[in-house]
Structure 1
Amino acid sequence: MDNKRLTIVIPALNEEEAIGGTIARCLDAREEISHQAGLDGVEIIVVSDGSTDRTVEIAQSYEDVQVVVFEENQGYGAAIKEGWRLGQGDLVGFLDADGTCDPRFFAQLCRTALDENADVTLGSRLGSDSQMPLIRRAGNRIFAFLLGLLCGRKVTDTASGMRVVRRQSLKHLYPLPDGLHFTPAMSARALMNHLRIIEIPMKYEERIGESKLSALWDGFRFLKVIGEGVLCYRPEKIFLAGFTFCVLLILLLAAYPAEFYFQHGRLEEWMIYRFVVCQLVGSFGMMLLLASALTNRMAQLSSRREESVGFWSSIVVSLFSGKSLLFITGLFTLLGIGFLWPGIVEYVTTGTITLHWSRLIAGAFALFTVMQTLIFFVLMKVVAIWYFEQSVLKKNILEAMSNESSELRNVNYQKITPTVETSRHIMK
């Protein structure tokens, strides 16, 4: 890295009680950050996000601080992104203006980012000496658990308000939202894109002034943005999680009827209700499993999607492609016919049906699964055609750009050559 500078952005909305102290601590910490992390300098940018109190006045009273003023509130994330856009550092970070975080901690974040080649380093506020309120601590742990479950990787503090990011890694993180859900969105995208993200425990003080965070509304937005991130980059994760839940529910509902049948060789009439529910849940689970394979293929159309997939995802993709899909369709067709054939023969020969309801439900489930796989096969063909056309289009564009560049080089050469010959003639 040629220019090892850090840009610190401080987003502020009506923080007149804390902004002065936060800026002063950042200014005092600049030399320590530069020395410990081996940086060439630290710049500080304060972005007032529509403040109506004395936040702007106080911030502008400090030298060596760039102050950006939004006349109207645009959002926490919008303020940070604007500061990053204006900054010059190859490392960009942000710090909440409420006095909860120590700016000197940037030294450790930057040193870790440089030494361990991390894309994102963040301070985890969930250590033993954290003064985070209990409800927010519980919410962070829930979000971290869900994100880890869906991504296969985890961070303990999904919404940390103190981070350092390599500027060159922003292209893998953008677009990011403008609101307070900016931080969990960044965490989700970093994990989904397989960026190197490192957490370091940090001290977290009780905030100065009134919090802008709504536990209920912002918690809902956090969940929403995590879900959107997963759907954008790893949609199969959500469908696989739903399929797993369906399998567990079927095992729970079918456990007693299966045990009863093996002991007595028959089923009770009241068990029909469990069979019907199992059929519905099983059909829904099969649809989720097929959707997992389909959306995994669709996500590959995105140029920002990493090619690597998880263990279970790769199994599902292999299972529902080519000969494997043909085998599954044939197997369920034979099962469906096998369950229903005695009833069909009986109806043709006698005009009545005495087939037990359990065979009817099992056969219906098998044939419905065949219909699902056939529809899935058609949809996969459609996606394959799109994928092929996109690949051809991309190849043609690259070839056109290459040819255009060659033509431009030839034109420039032709323009230069006569000039050289003319010069020689004049010299003669």
Structure 2
Amino acid sequence: MESKWLTIVIPALNEEDAIGGTIRRCLDAREEISHQAELDGIEIIVVSDGSTDQTAEIAQSFEDITVIVFEKNRGYGAAIKEGWRRGRGDYVGFLDADGTCDPRFFAALCETAIVENADVTLGSRLGADSQMPVIRRAGNRGFAFLMGLLCGRKVTDTASGMRVVRRNALKHLYPLPDGLHFTPAMSARALMNHLRIIEIPMKYEERIGESKLSALRDGIQFLKAIGEGVLCYRPEKIFLSGFTICMLMILILAAYPTEFYFQNHRLEEWMIYRFVVCQFLGSIGMALLLASALSTRMACMSSRREDFVGFWSSNISSLFTGKPLVVIAGFLTFLGLGFLWPGIVEFISTGKITLHWSRVIAGAFTLFSVLQISIFVVLMKVVEIWSYEQTSLEKKSYKLNQVERINIGESSLENDLYVVEPDSRVMK
């Protein structure tokens, strides 16, 4: 049977009041964690992230743990990643050093990860017995709502500081940032990559010592991390969200003028302002829709993107390619000229235009949309050329590597030399 080890990393920055208790609780919990999750071993790694107090010295006073000391502060995420890099666990986890999390909870996290074959298991700090401050609780719920909106899936605690990750899932999560936004970035990438992520409610206690979290600065970083995660894997989500907002605003603004027209067969002059705004929003919406299709094609060039594509993304990508796109452009051109043709004929005949402003606005919008589609076609062609060249280079590189391996093999046989590569797996 294959062995199963867990690496627990404790990132610590000036946590001299809490680090000793956290390490002691981890050491005391090892047997319980190993027994419940049926692990073969647990290693504990403490990373002092540029601490200027006694954090490193206190950690080094404990036996049977590894202590890594950064001379300068490199960041919360950097400390965790370094601990994971040096660890040998098949499962890697971390918990904050401030005493807020109970190390015994790793038993439930590991058991769930193994039994449910989860890539990421995390402890949700938003349960009934959580002592999280109200402001941070509200912020976490807000980030969770935003992430769910953009990703199509959600977790309730996007920034949980206690998690277990299957090591072979790290290739789908990296690169991850070095700062405190390490955790929401991981959540976003896990959701975007459709990794199996499971939450378990856990007890969360009030921290020991002063918090390093800045609500404004780190909140902005959290938003940035979520946005970058979406742009990296599912950029069309952001553009489609913007398109949906534009369409909803157009429906709201156009509802009354439309009803008025069907009842009275005319439009009031003051309604021109609504039409102009609707034209503006419609142009933005069309740009966002085309950007969604283009970004989907660009994202598919990346080997890091999974094959799964959502319902709307798939339909938009197919709609704005080939014949469907020609049909759309042709229809809009015909529609735009239909709106403006009476005015064009009148101007040529009489030198004047009495065409109603609503037809001018509608015609201008449809013809501008045709221009946007034309630009989109050119950009899509550029992306296709890049994609073809990239594929050709990869195939050429692969063939060269194969030839080099054959030549090296022949040379080795001629000289009776055998190259033995070390096993890349970590020995338990």
SS in 2 for 1:127: coil
Supply the AA of the counterpart residue of 2:129: D
Which residue pairs with 1:332 in the alignment?
Answer: 332
Which residue pairs with 1:277 in the alignment?
Answer: 277
Which residue pairs with 2:178 in the alignment?
Answer: 178
Runs of 4+ aligned residues of structure 1 deviating over 6 Å after TM superposition are none
Which residue pairs with 1:423 in the alignment?
Answer: none
Output aligned runs, 1:210-289, within 5 Å.
210-289=210-289
SS in 2 for 1:210: coil
Output aligned runs, 1:25-174, within 5 Å.
25-174=25-174
SS in 1 for 2:323: helix
Q: How many Å separate the matches in 2 of 1:416 and 1:131?
A: 68
Q: How many Å separate the matches in 1 of 2:401 and 2:54?
A: 53
Which residue pairs with 1:207 in the alignment?
Answer: 207
SS in 2 for 1:301: coil
Supply the AA of the counterpart residue of 1:202: M
Q: How many Å separate the matches in 1 of 2:169 and 2:281?
A: 42
Q: How many Å separate the matches in 2 of 1:44 and 1:308?
A: 37
Which residue pairs with 2:359 in the alignment?
Answer: 359
Q: How many Å separate the matches in 1 of 2:111 and 2:409?
A: 44
Supply the AA of the counterpart residue of 2:208: I
Supply the AA of the counterpart residue of 1:172: H
Q: CA RMSD in A?
A: 1.2
TM-score, length-normalised on structure 2? 0.96
Deviation, structure 1 residue 62: 1.1
Which residue pairs with 1:195 in the alignment?
Answer: 195
Q: For 1:197-245, what per-residue CA distance to the aligned partner results, in whole angstroms no more than 9, with x for missing partners?
A: 1111111111111111111111110001100111111100000000000
Q: For 1:258-306, what per-residue CA distance to the aligned partner results, in whole angstroms no more than 9, with x for missing partners?
A: 0100010000001001000100110010000000000010111111011
SS in 1 for 2:10: strand
Which residue pairs with 2:370 in the alignment?
Answer: 370
Q: Structure 2: which 5+ runs fail to align?
A: 418-428
The answer on 1:385 being equivalent to 2:385 is yes
Q: How many Å separate the matches in 1 of 2:212 and 2:331?
A: 57
Q: How many Å separate the matches in 2 of 1:77 and 1:412?
A: 44
Q: How many Å separate the matches in 1 of 2:404 and 2:51?
A: 50
Q: How many Å separate the matches in 1 of 2:409 and 2:46?
A: 46
Supply the AA of the counterpart residue of 1:333: T
Q: How many Å separate the matches in 2 of 1:124 and 1:396?
A: 48
Q: For 1:332-391, what per-residue CA distance to the aligned partner results, in whole angstroms no more than 9, with x for missing partners?
A: 000000000000000001111100000000000000000000000010011011111111
Q: For 1:163-187, what per-residue CA distance to the aligned partner results, in whole angstroms no more than 9, with x for missing partners?
A: 0111111111111111100000111
Which residue pairs with 1:18 in the alignment?
Answer: 18
Supply the AA of the counterpart residue of 1:136: R
Q: Structure 1: which 5+ runs fail to align?
A: 418-428
Q: How many Å separate the matches in 2 of 1:215 and 1:50?
A: 22
Deviation larger for 109-118 or 278-287:
109-118
Q: How many Å separate the matches in 2 of 1:401 and 1:52?
A: 49
Q: How many Å separate the matches in 2 of 1:332 and 1:215?
A: 48
Supply the AA of the counterpart residue of 2:368: F
Deviation, structure 1 residue 110: 0.8
Q: For 1:388-408, what per-residue CA distance to the aligned partner results, in whole angstroms no more than 9, with x for missing partners?
A: 111111111112222222233
Q: How many Å separate the matches in 2 of 1:5 and 1:232?
A: 31
Which structure would you say has the larger Rg?
1
Q: How many Å separate the matches in 1 of 2:68 and 2:386?
A: 45
SS in 1 for 2:127: coil
SS in 2 for 1:121: strand
Q: For 1:315-347, what per-residue CA distance to the aligned partner results, in whole angstroms no more than 9, with x for missing partners?
A: 110110110000000000000000000000000
Q: How many Å separate the matches in 2 of 1:352 and 1:10?
A: 78
SS in 2 for 1:389: helix
Q: How many Å separate the matches in 1 of 2:265 and 2:185?
A: 54
Deviation, structure 1 residue 412: 3.0
Deviation larger for 61-70 or 232-241:
61-70
Supply the AA of the counterpart residue of 1:330: G
SS in 1 for 2:9: strand
Q: How many Å separate the matches in 1 of 2:43 and 2:61?
A: 16
Supply the AA of the counterpart residue of 1:240: L
Which residue pairs with 1:424 in the alignment?
Answer: none
Supply the AA of the counterpart residue of 2:53: D
Supply the AA of the counterpart residue of 2:340: L
Deviation larger for 210-219 or 1-10:
1-10
TM-score, length-normalised on structure 1? 0.96
Deviation, structure 1 residue 2: 2.7
Deviation larger for 104-113 or 331-340:
104-113
Supply the AA of the counterpart residue of 1:328: I
The answer on 1:403 being equivalent to 2:403 is yes
The question of whether the paired residues in 2 share the 8 Å contact of 1:3 and 1:89 is answered with no
Deviation, structure 1 residue 409: 2.6
Which residue pairs with 2:424 in the alignment?
Answer: none
Q: How many Å separate the matches in 2 of 1:111 and 1:269?
A: 68
Q: For 1:114-162, what per-residue CA distance to the aligned partner results, in whole angstroms no more than 9, with x for missing partners?
A: 1111111111111111111111111111111111111111111100000
Supply the AA of the counterpart residue of 2:175: P
SS in 2 for 1:47: strand
Q: How many Å separate the matches in 2 of 1:19 and 1:412?
A: 54
Number of aligned residues = 417
The question of whether the paired residues in 2 share the 8 Å contact of 1:124 and 1:200 is answered with yes
